[in-house]
Amino acid sequence: MAIESWQPFSELMSLRQAMDRLFEDSFVRPSRGLAALAEIAAPAPDVYQTPTEVVLKAALSGLKPEDVSIDITGETLTIKGESKAEQEIKKEDYLYQERRYGAFSRSVVLPSGLKTDKAEATMEDGILTLTIPKVEEVKPKNISVKAKEKK
């Protein structure tokens, strides 16, 4: 067993390292509070696949179908919408106001091999359901190799 000398200050952080960590945590990485706020404002989708299609479901309570827009560009699906506040209630009359209002946008990456031009979206009881059929796979053709007869 080797003898090591004890250095009591080796585990202490230098002032410069502490300041670097402070600035990195504050400015480089977004704070968890702001990230959590963005996550609450945008719908959280469930995306799953069956043998014939890909299905996306998202809770958009309080929205009408005309308030929602869906775009597919390449393999990226984007859901946009806006939840509007009731105008007849004055701000000072609220006891609590916890529902979120305003515009939102949520993008997800889809798998390749989808017929995006055949996508269908429906909305029932505040749940958006988007169904995108898959492209029929080309079945591989098996080619047998035959030996050529010698003459």
Range in 12-26, 63-77, 101-115 with the lowest mean pLDDT: 12-26
Give residue-wise pLDDT tens across range 16-28. Answer: 777 777 777 666 5
- Per residue, what are the HEC states of 66-114? HHEEEEEECCEEEEEEEECCCCCCCHHHCCCCCCCCEEEEEEEECCCCE
Tokens of 15: 């002032």
State how many domains the chain has. Answer: 2
pLDDT greater than 50 at residue 38: no
Say if residue 52 is in the same domain as residue 62.
Answer: yes
Q: Please state the pTM of the whole predicted model.
A: 0.60
Q: Tokens representing 62?
A: 């309080």
The answer on 63 and 24 residing in a single domain is: no
Query: Does 101 lie in the same domain as 34?
Result: no
CATH number at residue 76: 2.60.40.790
Domain with 83 in it: 43-88+96-135
